[in-house]
Amino acid sequence: MVYRVIGLMSGSSLDGLDIAFVQFHENAGKWNFEIIQTACYEYNNPWKKKLQEATLLNALDYQLLHAEYGNYIGEQVNRFVDAHNLHYQVQLISSHGHTTFHVPDKKMTAQLGDGASIAAATGINVVSDLRAIDVALGGQGAPIVPIGEKLLFSGIDFFLNLGGIANISQKKNNEFIGFDVCPANRVLNMLANNVGKNFDEDGKLATQGNINKNLLKELNGLEYYGYPYPKSLANNFGTDIVYPIIEKSNCSVEDGLRTYTEHIIHQIKLSVNKLLQNNNAPASENDQRPTTNHQLLVTGGGAMNTFLVERLKQTFAELNVEVIVPEKNIVQYKEALIMALIGVLRWREETNILASVTGAKRNSIGGAVWIGQEA
């Protein structure tokens, strides 16, 4: 079977709406893909402000924004279809939405972007609310990308996404384990904003700074890092807990970026070490070096941060783990690609969220379906 699908992703770093038009081919359970067209439509300042402040709204205004953002997504899809002459070629849209509230311990997660509004605006069938059933089944609702890693990327055993939040997954004995590691680009971008930059291009500002050892120790001591997996982070962990700690240190922007880059590296190293040791207790820096070679595929906006990637390669050489940065389209649009696949699997009524990753009672078929095409 062949499926031609648009996948949509809006990450916590608020860079913009990622769009990928993908062709999937499935034959006897084997999946292949081709990314045909991509785009990232940056949010203007009013939309950034709306998304940043969504959790402060009252119930009615939040629901109005949910519908407004869904219509906005639909308009961006129409813009993308027009720009690439994809009329009548798109069979399905799969939209992740923009995460606002995420409280899995109370079986609740919320992503802005009403699927019905997207379907009405585009006239195309839509899958949305991808995480909700997993959370209702007691799961973390995150990470959900490992199903795509399992079906689309063979031969790799570790996957690291450096988005607004860094998350990691491991393929072992054809099963996946994964969890959110720490805030990443969202905090780095907030620091860069203080000197008028949207982000620290290539990590150049970080290279000019020094590590603040007291700050690094305080960050690494945060309670979340001692929790066993499965576990996941809400966006406000970075904005409301981590960032204020850095502000309180009164360090320069350069020192803050350098220190936080090291924090990301440290937490990723501990996470990989924990998975390599097959131990669900908090990892230790003193764990022995593994003897088997492994590969770590790095994607997300952070994979374009030259300094961050260099530090990853230096650190993981010590663990016999090869850091691989794939082609640019995979780096930038892997999550949108996998959202597209998750939508196809929902349409086929096949498992698209793995309980081994999220901790739910069972695997599930996540997503609400909205019929946009005329009957």
| 96-148 residue pLDDT tens | 999 999 999 999 999 999 999 999 999 999 999 999 999 999 999 999 999 99
Residue 102 lies in a domain: yes
**SS3 state of residue 209:** coil
pLDDT, average across residues 322-327: 96
Residue 292 C-beta-side C-alpha neighbours within 13 Å:
6
pLDDT tier at 292 (50, 70, 90 boundaries)?
Answer: low
* Contact assessment for residue 12 and residue 99, using Cβ atoms and an 8 Å cutoff: yes
pLDDT in tens, 185-224: 999 999 999 999 999 999 999 999 999 999 999 999 999 9
**SS3 state of residue 33:** strand
Residues 227 and 286 grouped into a single domain = yes
Rounded Cα–Cα distance for residues 358 and 244 (Å): 29
Rounded Cα–Cα distance for residues 336 and 21 (Å): 9
**SS3 state of residue 195:** coil
Residues 46 and 178 grouped into a single domain = no
Residue 310 lies in a domain: yes
**What letters, b where the CB count within 10 A reaches 16 and e where it falls short, cover 233-259?**
bbbbbbbebbbeebeebebbbbbbbbb
CATH number at residue 111: 3.30.420.40
Determine the pLDDT at residue 285: 53
Residues 133 and 51 grouped into a single domain = yes
Residues 270 and 359 grouped into a single domain = no
Residues 116 and 187 grouped into a single domain = no
Residues 30 and 131 grouped into a single domain = yes
| Of residues 369 and 291, more confidently modeled | 369
Structural domain total, the chain: 2
Residue 159 has pLDDT above 50, yes or no: yes
The average confidence (pLDDT) of the chain is 94
- Tokens standing for residue 3: 């499926």
pLDDT in tens, 230-272: 999 998 999 999 999 999 999 999 999 999 999 999 999 999 9
C-alpha angle 56-61-67 in degrees, rounded to nearest 5: 115
Give Cα 54 to chain centroid, integer Å: 19
Residues 230 and 362 grouped into a single domain = no
pLDDT tier at 280 (50, 70, 90 boundaries)?
Answer: very low
Residue 72 lies in a domain: yes
Mark residue 172 as left, alpha or beta (left: phi above 0; alpha: psi -120 to 50; beta: remaining).
Answer: beta
C-alpha angle 273-276-280 in degrees, rounded to nearest 5: 80
- Tokens standing for residue 113: 């972007």
Structural domain including 353 reads: 2-149+340-370
Residue 334 lies in a domain: no
DSSP one-letter code for 280: -
pLDDT tier at 319 (50, 70, 90 boundaries)?
Answer: confident
Residues 100 and 171 grouped into a single domain = no
Rounded Cα–Cα distance for residues 73 and 131 (Å): 18
Residues 17 and 134 grouped into a single domain = yes
Residue 360 lies in a domain: yes
* Contact assessment for residue 266 and residue 260, using Cβ atoms and an 8 Å cutoff: no
Residues 221 and 122 grouped into a single domain = no
pLDDT tier at 362 (50, 70, 90 boundaries)?
Answer: very high
Amino acid at position 32, single letter: N
DSSP letter string, 90-108: --EEEEEEEEEEEEGGGTE
Residues 79 and 161 grouped into a single domain = no
Q: Is the pTM of this model over 0.85?
A: yes
Residue 335 lies in a domain: no
Residue 282 lies in a domain: yes
| Of residues 329 and 286, more confidently modeled | 329
Q: Which of 289, 301, 272, 288 is nearest to 177 (CA)?
A: 272
pLDDT in tens, 6-38: 999 998 788 899 999 999 999 999 999 999 999
Residues 8 and 75 grouped into a single domain = yes
Residue 281 has pLDDT above 70, yes or no: no
Residue 375 lies in a domain: no
